[in-house]
Amino acid sequence: MYDVMFVCSAGMSTSMLVERVKKEAEKAGVEMEVYAMGESEAKKNLDKPQVILLGPQVRYMEFAFKKMLEGTDTKLGVIEMRTYGMMDGAKVYSQIAELLGL
């Protein structure tokens, strides 16, 4: 089972995208827990996920998250603005799969 955390401003705007990514994982036969958190809560829960994806609205925190994740195996990515805006679950799932090496 893979654990994937999305980070956004408040943790709520990504809920639709989370559901779409879960459906893509199911189609691919991959067990994946996908959830969203606001940035302050996410910083307290960095030990659990194998992948952390930042929403485009918090892209500016990429460097800070890289520093916090140094020395861990957690992969970090940023969701493209267009992909996020279109709520493209398939494309985000592909990004996660690539980060995990699936």
Integer Cα distance of 78 and 57 in angstroms: 10
Alpha-helical runs (H) found in the chain: 15-28, 39-43, 62-69, 81-85, 89-100
User: Could you give the residue numbers annotated as active site?
Assistant: 8
